Amino acid sequence: MGKKFIKSNFLKLLFILVFILIMEFILIFTAYKKNSINTGFFKIKNYNSKKTIVILIDICENTLNVFQNGNIIKSYTIASGKPSTPSPIGTWVITNRGTWGDGFGGRWMGLNVPWGKYGIHGTTHPNSIGWASSHGCIRMRNKDVEDLYKITPIGTKVIIWGGNYGNFGSYLRPIKPGMIGSDVYQIQKILRDKGYYKAAPDGIYGEYLKNVVHKFEKDNNLPISDTIGYNFYKKLGVELMD
């Protein structure tokens, strides 16, 4: 009788201890998942959820670096825009976010680029990562964009660097009506500073910019042409120097 009683109590005690261990495991796992989903703390070393981040994208090297307190806390390989559909060089801000469909890897972070819809998102074509292969957006591997999305609120600054020459990137391309991009945006800003362009720069070579180009050409004794080329750049004071 005594042995049965002792054995019964032992089994009850063992059951209680196992139950307590299981509950502790559940609580720890729940806390881990909460922190991982909400802050990315367990996936991004040295990340501080109370401080802002800055994203620097180098489309020459196809890399995306996350800075906090002046230090890189995470680096990713990305895909940038093709030469025919370049990514928007410049300093932008995340203005909208969403859990978009599979084609965007389930995550979207939109930029305030005035001449089109550009953002950072995932992809169904992971083999494109590492190349200039997109239509202008910044593509990431889906697991990478999920991590970045967790720590990137609206208002985050995004700097896209495309070469040594600011918004012109790595070279001066001939610009024709209908073209869009950072270089068009910069031309409009320079023409505005010179008193020619009276509207807000939008990075689009439309009819109004064409009229402004003709006026500038006439005032500077240049042949009237729709195309912004070498002589126009020179008169405008844009010369790329190493």
Q: Considering the chain, what percentage of its residues have pLDDT values greater than 70? A: 81
Mean pLDDT for all residues in the chain? 88
Superfamily of segment(s) 170-236 = PGBD-like superfamily/PGBD (1.10.101.10)
Strands (E), the chain: 54-58, 63-68, 71-77, 80-81, 90-98, 108-111, 119-121, 132-134, 138-139, 157-161
Contacts of 81 (CB under 8 A, 6+ apart): 59, 87, 132, 134, 135, 136, 137
Residue 35 has pLDDT above 80, yes or no: no
Q: Considering the chain, what percentage of its residues have pLDDT values greater than 90? A: 73
Residue 42 has pLDDT above 60, yes or no: no
pLDDT for residue 240? 77
SS3 125: coil
User: What residue spans define the domains of the chain?
Assistant: 1-39, 54-161, 170-236
In whole angstroms, what is the distance from residue 185 CA to residue 181 CA? 6
In whole angstroms, what is the distance from residue 77 CA to residue 88 CA? 18
Residue 33 has pLDDT above 80, yes or no: no
Contacts of 78 (CB under 8 A, 6+ apart): 57, 62, 63, 64, 129, 130, 138, 139, 140
Which of 105, 97, 75 shows the shortest CA–CA distance to 150?
97
Which of 152, 154, 149, 116 shows the shortest CA–CA distance to 135?
116
Pick the catalytic residue: 60, 121, 125, 214? 121
Give residue-wise pLDDT tens across range 116-130.
999 999 999 999 999
Between 7-11, 77-81, 198-202, the lowest mean confidence (pLDDT) is in: 7-11
- Whether 121 is catalytic is yes
Pick the catalytic residue: 60, 125, 137, 214? 137
Same fold across 54-161 and 170-236 = no
* Confidence at 13, pLDDT banded by 50, 70, 90: low
Residue type, 4: K
Superfamily of segment(s) 54-161 = L,D-transpeptidase catalytic domain-like (2.40.440.10)
The three-point CA angle 217-223-229 to 5° equals 75
DSSP, res 109 = E
